[in-house]
Amino acid sequence: MSQGSNFVDYVKICCRSGHGGAGSAHLHRDILTSKGGPDGGDGGRGGDVIVKGNAQLWTLLHLKFRKHVIAGDGEPGKASLQTGKSGRDEILEVPLGTIARNAETGEILFEITQDGETKILTPGGRGGLGNWHFKSSTQQTPRFAQPGEDGREDWNILELKLLADVGLVGFPNAGKSTLLSVVSAAKPEIADYAFTTLVPNLGIVAYRGGKSFVMADIPGIIEGASQGKGLGFRFLRHIERNSVLLFMVPADTSRTIKEEYDILLRELKEYNPELIHKPRVLAVTKSDMLDAELQREMKAELPKGIPSVFISSVAQKGLDELKDMLWKEINK
């Protein structure tokens, strides 16, 4: 199975929490007591559907085929003030960076960012109160108790935003997958046509002194992605979580490097203006085809105020310089 088919970043699940158990309306009776007071216990609470962060998970694949998640019902209360047993909780483990939203309203409920962090997605019903709660000076032996509260049934969406240190931004065919395969152990699908990368690929890049950082190759942006053209929003949202954006423009582009960079920047800005404040680095790829003079000319026309480097993944040119630049930006 290729990484393409087992990277799942979106699942829709029907969650049903447990009903609360009914309170007991029991009156105390034993050998010595023929008319005792109320001693009915409370019902147990219904089970919750809970989402839990797990740093070992990278995708939502394990939830892809779980369309229905059903928590257990609470048990009814018993005599002698015994509370019923609580319903079984259903725990859904998710990768860090997962967002939960209500499928009908689209409202974001919460986001999981820490290992072991838990949030209740669909709360269970409360257990009913037993009859001893309703005893008063005027009503010594209440013969009624509360029913348990119903559980809830919701359709929820879980979607993953990648947590990576460096996000690669560029048009299809800018050499992003090739770079990732050369600087990390990731094995993205590489071919010489647009949209080879249909899912984000993650790679761990080894750096000096045993350090490392995570790089995410995000499917190519095309003009109009912010309006949902091409692969649009679904993938742009992965960029939101990266701490540094690496813009990649091939040396053989039909436009100037600055024009192409400005288009990429405009797409990001239209999608989410906050992305513009992230640190940026520019890599001119496929530069093994440039001679020294041509490279000097192009360097003079590069956008100002952004660290830039000429690289060639295939010829292994400029990669150490690029890693140094990225490391510096990540740790600013």
Residue ranges per domain, the chain?
A: 1-160, 166-330
**Which residues lie below 8 Å from residue 70, measured CB to CB, with a gap of 6+?**
16, 90
The pLDDT value given to residue 186: 54
Question: Is there a shared CATH topology between the 1-160 domain and the 166-330 domain?
Answer: no
Tell me, what's the pLDDT at 234? 52
What pLDDT is stored for residue 300 in this prediction?
82
Residue owning tokens 């460096």: 166
pLDDT at residue 113, as a whole number: 87
Query: In the CATH scheme, what is the homologous superfamily, with its name and number, of domain 166-330?
Result: P-loop containing nucleotide triphosphate hydrolases (3.40.50.300)
What is residue 59's predicted lDDT score, i.e. its pLDDT?
Answer: 78
Using an 8 Å Cβ cutoff, are 145 and 39 in contact?
no
pLDDT for res 242: 66
The dihedral sign for the CA sequence 306, 280, 188, 323: positive
Summarize pLDDT for 207-251 with one digit per residue, the tens: 887 777 778 776 655 544 445 544 444 555 556 666 788 998 888
Q: Half-sphere exposure of 103 toward its Cβ, with a 13 Å CA cutoff?
A: 14
106: number of Cβ within 10 Å: 8
**Is the C-alpha dihedral spanning 106, 108, 113, 116 positive or negative?**
negative
Residue 83 has a pLDDT of 94
Per-residue pLDDT tens digits for 131-158: 999 998 888 889 899 999 999 999 999 9
pLDDT at 200: 60
With a cut of 70, which residues of the chain have pLDDT below it?
A: 1-8, 162-164, 185-201, 218-242, 271
Q: Is the pTM of this model over 0.75?
A: no
**Which one is the CATH code of 1-160: 1.10.3210.10, 3.40.190.10, 2.70.210.12, 3.30.930.10?**
2.70.210.12
